[in-house]
């Protein structure tokens, strides 16, 4: 999407994002706006409008693997998280996992086979371990339940971090709408926009935890968005080896 043809919705969303994200957000904003030029993003946007099984296929075996089982044990549902003051809900983390499955489908259109689950699991582990550097580093040891206990307590309210993430989600949604021509729900957005925004949140929180901080900053949000948009632009074959 070139600057001369950008829609008013995209331009407004970009301006709102940069207002909070600052100059550091300029690069990732431009990357988000360029996503319609990635064929896999178009597939992801179209597929995500269908019911999840139609693009995800059978994924029970993936969710029985250690990291995802530990996440299920270590995170709470939205209601319990609200009552206990946790900031990472179980459904948000599993939306991150679904985003990676959808990314793999965007490139391969595969809905069966152990190989696709292996590739998705590897990508989930890399993103959680290394964030925006996931292409450079293989995954480390699988996190235990205690990791998720600590992750769910990372704060979102400092440095305009979460408002910046929400505005980035608005930009992603506006860009996605250019691809699908679908009108976005003003609150929920779309499945793909939610997946990408939730993924950036999880990656930002993991980054703060690695740095032994108790809250995310805008730099973590930018790193999370960079990781997610890099994933969308990277075929699964690039993660092999």
Rounded to the nearest 10°, the torsion over CA 183, 188, 192, 193 is 90
- Highest mean pLDDT range out of 51-60, 99-108, 111-120, 181-190? 99-108
Three-class DSSP category at 3: coil
Q: What is the pTM of this model?
A: 0.94
| Residue in 198, 177, 10, 32 with CA at minimum distance from that of residue 100 | 198
* Cβ(94)–Cβ(171) below 8 Å: no
**pLDDT higher than 90, residue 87:** yes
Domain boundaries along the sequence of the chain: 8-239
Report pLDDT for 185. 59
3-state DSSP helix/strand/coil percent for the chain, to nearest 5? 70, 0, 30
Position 174 confidence tier, pLDDT thresholds 50, 70, 90: very high
Report pLDDT for 183. 73
**pLDDT higher than 90, residue 25:** yes
Q: Work out the average pLDDT over 182-203.
A: 83
Q: Work out the average pLDDT over 180-191.
A: 70
**pLDDT higher than 90, residue 68:** yes
Q: Work out the average pLDDT over 8-18.
A: 95
Calpha distance 124→212 (Å, rounded): 21
Position 189 confidence tier, pLDDT thresholds 50, 70, 90: low
């Amino acid at each position: 999407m070139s600057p001369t043809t950008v829609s008013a919705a995209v331009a407004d969303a970009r301006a709102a994002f940069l207002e909070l994200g600052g100059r550091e957000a300029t690069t990732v904003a431009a990357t988000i706006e360029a996503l319609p030029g990635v064929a896999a993003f178009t597939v992801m946007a179209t597929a995500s409008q269908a019911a999840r099984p139609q693009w995800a296929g059978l994924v029970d075996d993936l969710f029985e693997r250690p990291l995802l089982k530990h996440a299920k044990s270590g995170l709470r549902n939205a209601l319990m998280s609200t009552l206990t003051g946790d900031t990472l809900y179980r459904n948000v983390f599993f939306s991150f996992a679904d985003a990676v499955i959808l990314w793999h489908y965007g490139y391969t259109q595969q809905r069966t086979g152990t190989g696709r689950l292996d590739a998705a699991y590897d990508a989930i582990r890399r993103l959680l371990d290394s964030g925006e550097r996931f292409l450079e580093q293989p995954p480390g040891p699988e996190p235990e339940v205690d990791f998720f206990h600590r992750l769910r307590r990372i704060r979102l309210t400092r440095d305009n971090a979460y408002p910046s993430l929400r505005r980035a989600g608005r930009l992603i949604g506006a860009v996605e709408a250019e691809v699908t021509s679908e009108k976005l729900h003003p609150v929920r957005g779309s499945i793909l926009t939610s997946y990408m925004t939730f993924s950036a949140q999880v990656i930002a929180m993991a980054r703060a935890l690695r740095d032994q901080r108790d809250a995310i900053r805008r730099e973590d949000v930018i790193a999370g968005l960079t990781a997610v948009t890099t994933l969308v632009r990277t075929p699964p074959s690039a993660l092999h080896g």
